[in-house]
Amino acid sequence: MLSQALSSAASKLARADGRPVEWAVSEGLVGYEAAVAAMEARAAAIAAGEAAELVWLLEHPPLYTAGVSSKDDDLLDATRFPVHRTGRGGQFTYHGPGQRVAYVMLDLNARGKDVRAFVRGLEQWIIGALGEFGVPADVREGRVGVWVERKGPGWSRAPLVGFANTPPGGGGREDKIAAIGVKVRKWVSFHGISLNVEPDLSHFSGIVPCGIHEHGVTSLVDLGVPATLDEADEALRASFGRVFGETVKGAAPVKPA
């Protein structure tokens, strides 16, 4: 458990000038290529001092993305959904309806210039949002993302092809509920996080998520928490404020397809 190590992340991640971050939510599905182009343009504008920081929440149609550390063998079904090669950190992940993607464009020049602290802050942000639903979550040494430990009989899900249903020796099982994959250019971040609210978990079986064979994936609804995307957004915004500072309503860079 590393949650105790996360508590210091927020101390350097809030802007000293208190300038709020714009917060935008897209309704409907947003195409991946259009989203990435808009995100990169906004990040460049932030670096040039021409735009405010932005957190952009959206849903994508079903697709797989491959980060810079992805391995071809971890793409188990290349024909199932479109595959997008991307410059973010990490390996293969899935995006689709029912999953909240948050693209995070923050100026780290004003937030301590510490990429490790920034990633810890993203972890703390997700953990805090899950806490709004009473879901205990944490990070794990050597694994990217945020995880839940399933101990009781009520914490069950349909098995995914290619994933262990229980760990060796029995007992509880750890499933991933949120992914993190970021890039930083000129000390401005882009890409971000994805939180599984109610996606079709069988869609993950076309890849080895983040290159990890030993564990599965889960979602809030899969854990028995009947959360909506709107409710997840509220929790994310509340937790973001505690870690990174205040937000104000902003406009989404592109409209859904």
Confidence band, pLDDT 50/70/90 cuts, at residue 213: low
Distance CA 109, CA 227 (A): 35
Taking residues 83-100, report their average pLDDT: 88
Distance CA 79, CA 111 (A): 41
Q: pTM for this one? A: 0.86
- The tokens describing 217, both together, are 């994936």
Q: What is the pLDDT of residue 223?
A: 95
Neighbouring residues of 138: CB distance < 8 A, sequence distance ≥ 6: 1, 2, 3, 127, 146, 147, 149
For 194, list phi and psi in degrees, rounded to 5: -140, 135
pLDDT digits (tens, 9 = 90+) for 133-155: 999 999 987 777 899 997 654 44
DSSP symbols for 203-239: GGGGB-GGG--S-EE--TTTTT----HHHHHHHHHHH
For 97, list phi and psi in degrees, rounded to 5: -55, 140
Q: Examine the pLDDT at 156 and tell me if it is beyond 60.
A: no
Q: Examine the pLDDT at 208 and tell me if it is beyond 90.
A: no
Taking residues 243-249, report their average pLDDT: 97
- The tokens describing 59, both together, are 């849903």
Mean pLDDT, the chain, rounded, equals 86
Q: What is the pLDDT of residue 214?
A: 59
Distance CA 65, CA 74 (A): 11
Selecting among 21, 55, 101, 210, the annotated active-site residue is 210
3-class state of residue 77 by DSSP: coil
79 in active site: no
